[in-house]
Structure 1
């Protein structure tokens, strides 16, 4: 039997409800902020990620899925979303439209890592990119939107860690200070950090090795090496967060793992899993568009890991089950044919309808109707089919009533026009009220 590859997993129907809830929440909240969805390819030229992310990063050096195609071109499955969105922004000349571009995306990413809970080699992210503004307000807007999404989904124990990594000049000065500090401790650092000392010393601050973390506690802080302009930007971001009542803590070791970050870097963490876990990470990247061949464009964005967020939701709330409004039971050749027609008409009118296709006895079909979670069951026999009626059975009370199929369809069409986002449950309530009036 062929098994799924290590680091990949099947997302089964019993779990998909959580994914759909996240996607619907993101679409709703970002839509209200006028962010437009963009869909980029899942593989790109390898050079895009080497230039954009940085050759000295772990992502490029150790984790990318890179291969040659039949044209001997080096291609890579995308390890993150920002570089591809920026490439699309440049390739399609979105910058020529002027002003600010607000974009969001969702989809699979690929990194060769050790699989663990909430982290797979094929993983999924939802993210946004705000391109064309250097204002501190832009930084705070995207942080506020991420906070809105996570809180709307039910996460309460959230913690915002924030830092500034300055501009390129600030970082160059800071790199020298870090190298000078860590050099005497070189033999005490973990192996990865020893290699980073000459290539990417800021990443030493992000090490998970306990001994390296202990040494890094007394390392110089980048905030001490910020220019006046960079410090002003960071102070304004912090003040705006305070104005929005978004609590934060400055984390001097937070540098994020990708080379393109400038100024604001942040992570939103949750301890709802028992151990603190990062669910959202992002920051400003003012040089990336220019680095990839576009005009100099300031930008800021973030990404949320879907797998880790689903784990949190599974602990915090029950599965958002997509129960049908109606379940159709039928018995008899004519009734079974008509039940299919009725089901399609009701679905077209906006109702969620499950049609029993088993052909088994009515008793077994009624048991499946009870398990379906539907509010009501429609029962058709050949007599009802001939009279163009249906018996409607309220599954909670067992009460039944006969109703003309034409009346049922007319009510469904009327109710469809009243349905709005997030009010699916009210549709069934309105249907019950309409049928009760018809009965009276």
Structure 2
């Protein structure tokens, strides 16, 4: 019987996993520069956490979550996104009481959504995300956007396009919601069943529908910009001014909406303009949220964040021939033929590893020539040959595989010698 990987997942094999590690290291370094610290939350949470935060009316909750009952009858779900778990942890661990606010955190890890697998969209995907919780300052919005832009640039991606919108505060969203319901009600039967269900629960999601995006009523729907109050306008103007001050260009798109219910005020997406492919690829999206912390029993606290797909970063790098060359290499490969020689090689490997030197040997009984080929395949910097003569004399040849130069070193001084070189 053949066993295959579940649909919508992938194995990250050696040679590929190193590229992922590199992207993750870039994310950690950029986060460090912005003073964001890592948080690690469970892969599964109580289902209600996502129902409350992401929203009952969203496709994520209605169609895409992996939900199950444990043996105690509790309803649990694999996390479909990262913000809800971070917000839950913020409240549960009373981080709102921290002296330093906002609390700035980042996460890296797998998320799960039951979607139709396609290029750049998997059922198990991986996100790098940040959350800054505990400040109403527009400057933290700009900092979050700048962090995302810096991350992509550090990965080697340029030609980025930042798209902004303001979703207003709760009062704005309430008034806009009424206008949308009035706009769509008489002809809602012309829309898909999902949109018909969204009319009363979350009509803003109709504007983001993939099925009906070209419907004339979607094109003529009232813009949330028409309902922004003075406070929301001032906030958005400040965000735009600060972006201009630090040299980040942007485009305002009144039709930009985020798919999660908790967003207010600033919403943004970052796209990669690929003229050679004739497409603009969305890399990430995020925005400010209010009311989420209160949903989990915390005090009135706002936050802002984003989540981006590591898979999409690697796809974009591959499309531009900018995947990092991060192949593995070895400091030392030990070539040995014969039982006593292999015993000595095993002892030597242990001593070298204790000194912090990466090393390996043949375990398949290959002949010497084949062992040298193995050393080439693992990109070993140096090769040590242990034969009968070396055991008798106590001196080995150390070959520099790049230059071809060899030097003789005694077993007694070998570890210290290689440590000084490597």
Give the TM-score category using the shorter length: over 0.9
CA distance in structure 2 between the partners assigned to 1:222 and 1:104 by the alignment:
30
The question of whether the paired residues in 2 share the 8 Å contact of 1:139 and 1:264 is answered with yes
Residue of structure 1 equivalent to 2:322: 317
Residue of structure 1 equivalent to 2:401: 395
CA distance in structure 2 between the partners assigned to 1:329 and 1:400 by the alignment:
14
CA distance in structure 2 between the partners assigned to 1:240 and 1:386 by the alignment:
73
The one of 342, 352, 358 aligned to 1:336: 342
For residue 14 of structure 1, give the secondary structure of its aligned residue in structure 2.
coil
**Residues 13-412 of structure 1 aligned to structure 2 (within 5 Å):** 13-98=14-99, 99-209=101-211, 212=214, 214-272=216-274, 274=277, 275-315=279-319, 316-318=321-323, 319-412=325-418
1:181-206 deviation digits (Å, cap 9, x = unpaired):
23344344343323322221111221
How far did residue 386 of structure 1 move?
Answer: 4.7
For residue 129 of structure 1, give the secondary structure of its aligned residue in structure 2.
strand
How far did residue 94 of structure 1 move?
Answer: 1.6
How far did residue 413 of structure 1 move?
Answer: 4.3
Change over 3 Å in CA distance of 1:337–1:215 after alignment to 2: farther
Change over 3 Å in CA distance of 1:413–1:89 after alignment to 2: farther
- List gaps (5 residues or longer) in structure 2: none
Residue of structure 2 equivalent to 1:426: none
How far did residue 394 of structure 1 move?
Answer: 2.2
TM-score (norm 1): 0.89
The question of whether the paired residues in 2 share the 8 Å contact of 1:167 and 1:230 is answered with yes
CA RMSD in angstroms, aligned pairs only: 2.1
How far did residue 297 of structure 1 move?
Answer: 1.2
CA distance in structure 2 between the partners assigned to 1:188 and 1:254 by the alignment:
23
The question of whether the paired residues in 2 share the 8 Å contact of 1:350 and 1:412 is answered with no
**Which structure: greater helix fraction?**
1
For residue 126 of structure 1, give the secondary structure of its aligned residue in structure 2.
strand
CA distance in structure 2 between the partners assigned to 1:362 and 1:151 by the alignment:
46
Change over 3 Å in CA distance of 1:211–1:37 after alignment to 2: closer
- List gaps (5 residues or longer) in structure 1: 415-429, 432-440
The question of whether the paired residues in 2 share the 8 Å contact of 1:105 and 1:128 is answered with yes
CA distance in structure 2 between the partners assigned to 1:193 and 1:386 by the alignment:
83
CA distance in structure 1 between the partners assigned to 2:170 and 2:108 by the alignment:
30
How far did residue 353 of structure 1 move?
Answer: 2.4
How far did residue 163 of structure 1 move?
Answer: 0.8
CA distance in structure 2 between the partners assigned to 1:198 and 1:180 by the alignment:
10
Moved more, 209-218 or 142-151: 209-218
CA distance in structure 2 between the partners assigned to 1:263 and 1:390 by the alignment:
69
How far did residue 411 of structure 1 move?
Answer: 4.8
How far did residue 294 of structure 1 move?
Answer: 0.8
How far did residue 401 of structure 1 move?
Answer: 1.9
Change over 3 Å in CA distance of 1:121–1:225 after alignment to 2: same
Would you say how many aligned residue pairs link Structure 1 and Structure 2?
A: 416
